[in-house]
Amino acid sequence: MNIRTLVTFGALALATLGSFPVIAQTDEFIAGQVTKVDESAGKITIKHGPLKKFDMDEGMTMVFHAADPAMTKTVKAGDKVRFVPDRINGQFTVTKIEKAK
């Protein structure tokens, strides 16, 4: 390959990269309180405020699948938490959870 070919490929690569939008991935933590933990099913029930991400304008209590089964061992009923919800394969899922301070 000669230098002209390399420069052409480099310019094309840069032009292509500039045409794709950059999507920022942010974790939006939601405040809530654990009401139940079902370790065997890998589920955590959480009373929480609005979930704007899912167009839910009012708080409610929902059952979430735990993305990592180990999450069910880190919280118990009554714990105040901060969590990141997502919808994975059609299921509401907790992808991160931590006890609130």
Domains of the chain (ranges, CATH numbers): 30-99 (2.40.50.320)
Tell me the pLDDT tens digit for each residue of 7-46. Answer: 455 554 544 445 444 444 456 899 999 999 999 999 999 9
The confidence score (pLDDT) of residue 19 equals 46
Q: With a cut of 90, say whether residue 94 has pLDDT above it.
A: yes
The mean pLDDT value for 88-93 works out to: 95
User: Which carries the bigger pLDDT value, residue 47 or residue 26?
Assistant: 47
- Which token pair is 84? 């990141």
Long-range contacts of range 58-66, CB-CB < 8 Å, 24 or more positions apart?
A: 61/35, 62/92, 63/36, 63/92, 64/92, 64/93, 64/94, 65/91, 65/92, 65/93, 65/94, 66/42, 66/93, 66/94, 66/97
Strands 60-66 and 91-99: parallel
Tell me the pLDDT tens digit for each residue of 64-84. Answer: 999 999 999 999 999 999 999
The structure's pTM equals 0.73
Q: With a cut of 70, say whether residue 1 has pLDDT above it.
A: no
Q: Binning pLDDT at 50, 70 and 90, where does residue 49 land?
A: very high
State how far the Cα of 73 lies from the Cα of 44, in Å rounded to an integer. Answer: 10
